[in-house]
Amino acid sequence: MRITALLTALCLAPALVAAEEPTAPTPPAATVMPVKVREVSLRPSDEGYPPELVAKGVQGTAELLLTLASDGSPKEIVVQSSSRSAALDQAAIAVAKGLTFKSKDPANPVRQVVVPIEFVRDSLTTLPQKTCREFNVDLAYFKTTFPELETRQMPVVNMTIGSYVSYGIVGLAQDKAVAYMKRVESAAKGLAEACAKEPEAGYIQTFTRLVKEAG
């Protein structure tokens, strides 16, 4: 009995030791980062930009995180970075619902994308028709919503400066080009005051006058 019991214990020992050996931890699943795609830019002529928001000068960019269904359409939309306007964020979500994305590699379809959707009131083709009164509305919204930013950083002002510099320095010597750019920047600084004084004046006409006066 004692021999049999000893042999039995010896035979079981390896199995018991093996069972107590720690198993290797399962490696965590790889994290797949969302793919950031090119922004969707809307102007007042686009259906997705609500006219009532345009009239109030409401502008901005909402960055959305979209979880995609198998056909590439969004099945879940989350505002990842707000435009600072709840109404504009909702308009962005409405636009995103109509988007569809196609993966380059069907074997490894994209599951999530980040889409910036921007709403801008002006374009180079509409600037000539813009009035200072409209600019004043834009400025009031911008100052209230983005108090940490300078007027120079308004979309319309930035666009205007870019267009004036792009066309104005063509053919100029370096020193004259630099001087011209300084006049344009000076005009931008005086724009808010000038448009406040003459709200019925044309926006571009006012900016052009300020550039000439700065010279």
Do residues 87 and 150 share a domain? Answer: no
- CB contact at 8 A, 42 and 49: yes
Do residues 208 and 144 share a domain? Answer: yes
pLDDT of 43 over the 60 cut: yes
* Cα dihedral: 125, 126, 131, 133 (round 10): -140
145 lies in some domain: yes
5 pLDDT band, cuts 50/70/90, is very low
Structure tokens at 188: 């931008």
* Per-residue pLDDT tens digits for 91-110: 999 999 999 998 888 888 89
Query: In whole angstroms, what is the distance from residue 4 CA to residue 11 CA?
Result: 11
- CB contact at 8 A, 84 and 146: yes
* Per-residue pLDDT tens digits for 191-202: 999 999 999 999
Query: In whole angstroms, what is the distance from residue 142 CA to residue 90 CA?
Result: 19
Domain that holds residue 98: 35-119
Do residues 133 and 207 share a domain? Answer: yes
Do residues 113 and 158 share a domain? Answer: no
Given 119, 135, 164, the domain boundary residue is 119
Angle between helices 132-145 and 174-197 (to 10 degrees): 90
Do residues 199 and 139 share a domain? Answer: yes
* Per-residue pLDDT tens digits for 123-178: 999 999 999 999 999 999 999 999 999 999 999 999 999 999 998 898 889 999 99
Query: In whole angstroms, what is the distance from residue 128 CA to residue 205 CA?
Result: 8
Do residues 84 and 55 share a domain? Answer: yes
9 pLDDT band, cuts 50/70/90, is very low
Query: In whole angstroms, what is the distance from residue 203 CA to residue 161 CA?
Result: 13
182 lies in some domain: yes
pTM over 0.85? The answer is no
26 lies in some domain: no
Determine the average pLDDT of the residues in 12-41: 63
